[in-house]
């Protein structure tokens, strides 16, 4: 007779956890990769590792060295709740509470757009075109990532940042403090809070998603990131129309306006700038080759 375990005796099994039910680091990791993949999360392995690092306080190397060790109950509890949130497609950055941008950590919440790597293209171009800028204005600062990075990159400059959302401004202020940047934060819409002031450099990463595209965004963005930071109006260009029309009245002679744009918007935005009297119009690709930044210089009004 073949030696197969009989289910008849199952109820006689001692009530202790079988070895294979101990949640070692590796077992937890493997399970999570399957779970998150099933929920549609890309890069499930890397994300599972990040969440495990957060729950255990280990770094990635530490995780690998502890693959065979069981997780403590409190670690497992913390981890489970994070994985459940991620399974509902809440952004990893909201769960971890921060995102790196230009080598610095920024606190992020549901009130601010999560800083994107692509936006470093805007930063680089600003520094390239206006290295001597003494006054800088960031319209729609969100987490403050652009303004704070520029305050570091252009140490001679006085940086002012505006946002329509008081909740976003609170996060941005906190980010400036924790990154030792001096930035003047003002609440309001576009140029309204700066009155008649003029700047050498104006930057903005405004909302630029078209209404049609809003519904097609991945759930992390569509359901969790602030609509105010995404919605660019019916054709996605609403904010650029205001920026192009009003920036000249707030630029010093030969000042620069540089803006991030969405994929395929560069020509339309360049035309808006040309129509508003800008010249030296530049269009700059991001690292993926997508035209990501459009800007120009204005001789003054």
The verdict on 175 binding ligand GLN (CB under 6 A) reads no
Distance between the two ends of the chain, CA-based, in angstroms?
97
Q: Using CB under 6 A, which of the segments 58-66, 123-131, 204-212, 292-300 binds ligand GLN? A: 204-212
The verdict on 207 binding ligand GLN (CB under 6 A) reads yes
Q: Which is nearer to ligand GLN, 135 or 141 (CB)?
A: 141
CB of 125 to ligand GLN, least distance (A): 13
Q: Using CB under 6 A, which of the segments 13-21, 143-151, 180-188, 214-222 binds ligand GLN? A: 143-151
Q: Which is nearer to ligand GLN, 32 or 99 (CB)?
A: 99
Q: How far is CA 185 from CA 102, 282, 289, 296, in A?
A: 20, 28, 33, 25
Report d(CA 70, CA 73) in Å as an integer: 9
Cα dihedral angle (284, 99, 110, 158), rounded to 10 degrees? -60
Q: Which is nearer to ligand GLN, 133 or 259 (CB)?
A: 259
Report d(CA 186, CA 176) in Å as an integer: 13
Report d(CA 220, CA 93) in Å as an integer: 10
CA 134-138-140 angle, to 5 degrees, is: 170
CB of 232 to ligand GLN, least distance (A): 9
Q: Which is nearer to ligand GLN, 113 or 151 (CB)?
A: 113
The verdict on 25 binding ligand GLN (CB under 6 A) reads no
The verdict on 149 binding ligand GLN (CB under 6 A) reads no
Q: Which is nearer to ligand GLN, 232 or 296 (CB)?
A: 232
Binding mask 111-130 for ligand GLN (x = CB under 6 A): --x-x---x-----------
Binding mask 212-251 for ligand GLN (x = CB under 6 A): -----------------x----------------------
Binders of ligand GLN among residues 178 to 197 (CB under 6 A) are none
- Neighbour count for residue 257 (Cβ, 10 Å): 27
Q: Which is nearer to ligand GLN, 133 or 229 (CB)?
A: 229
CB of 140 to ligand GLN, least distance (A): 5
The verdict on 165 binding ligand GLN (CB under 6 A) reads no
Report d(CA 203, CA 122) in Å as an integer: 8
Q: Which residue is nearest to ligand GLN (CB)?
A: 142
Report d(CA 241, CA 291) in Å as an integer: 18
- Neighbour count for residue 276 (Cβ, 10 Å): 18
Which contiguous run of DSSP H or E holds residue 296? strand 291-298
Q: Which is nearer to ligand GLN, 39 or 167 (CB)?
A: 167
Check if the beta carbon of residue 171 is closer than 8 Å to that of residue 144. yes
CB of 262 to ligand GLN, least distance (A): 10
User: In terms of DSSP bridges, do strands 251-260 and 199-204 run parallel, antiparallel, or are they unpaired?
Assistant: parallel
User: In terms of DSSP bridges, do strands 279-285 and 291-298 run parallel, antiparallel, or are they unpaired?
Assistant: antiparallel
Summarize as ranges the residues that interact with ligand GLN (CB under 6 A). Answer: 113, 115, 119, 140-143, 145-146, 205-207, 229
């Amino acid at each position: 007779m073949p030696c197969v375990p009989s289910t008849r005796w199952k109820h006689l099994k001692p009530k202790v956890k079988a070895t294979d039910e101990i949640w070692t680091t590796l077992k937890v990791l493997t399970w999570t990769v399957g779970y998150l993949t099933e929920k549609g999360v890309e890069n499930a392995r890397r994300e599972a590792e990040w969440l495990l690092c957060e729950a255990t306080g280990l770094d990635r190397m530490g995780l690998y060295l502890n693959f065979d060790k069981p997780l403590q109950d409190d670690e497992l509890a913390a981890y489970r709740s994070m994985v459940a949130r991620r399974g509902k497609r809440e952004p990893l950055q909201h769960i971890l509470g921060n995102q790196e941008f230009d080598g610095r950590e920024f606190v992020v919440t549901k009130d601010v757009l999560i800083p994107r790597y692509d936006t470093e293209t805007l930063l680089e171009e600003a520094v390239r075109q206006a290295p001597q800028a003494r006054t800088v204005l960031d319209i729609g600062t969100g987490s403050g990532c652009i303004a704070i990075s520029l305050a570091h990159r252009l140490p001679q400059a006085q940086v002012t940042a505006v946002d329509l959302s008081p909740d976003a401004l609170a996060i941005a202020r906190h980010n400036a403090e924790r990154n030792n940047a001096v930035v003047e934060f003002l609440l309001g819409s576009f140029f309204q809070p700066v009155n008649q002031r003029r700047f050498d450099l104006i930057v903005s990463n405004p909302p630029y998603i078209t209404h049609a595209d809003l519904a097609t965004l991945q759930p992390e963005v569509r359901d969790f990131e602030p609509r105010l930071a995404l919605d660019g109006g019916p054709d996605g260009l609403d904010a650029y129309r205001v920026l192009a029309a009003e920036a000249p009245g707030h630029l010093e002679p030969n000042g620069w306006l540089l803006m991030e744009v969405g994929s395929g918007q560069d020509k339309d935005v360049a035309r808006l700038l040309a129509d508003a009297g800008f010249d030296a119009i530049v269009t700059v690709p991001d690292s993926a080759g997508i035209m990501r930044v459009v800007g120009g210089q204005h001789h003054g009004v």
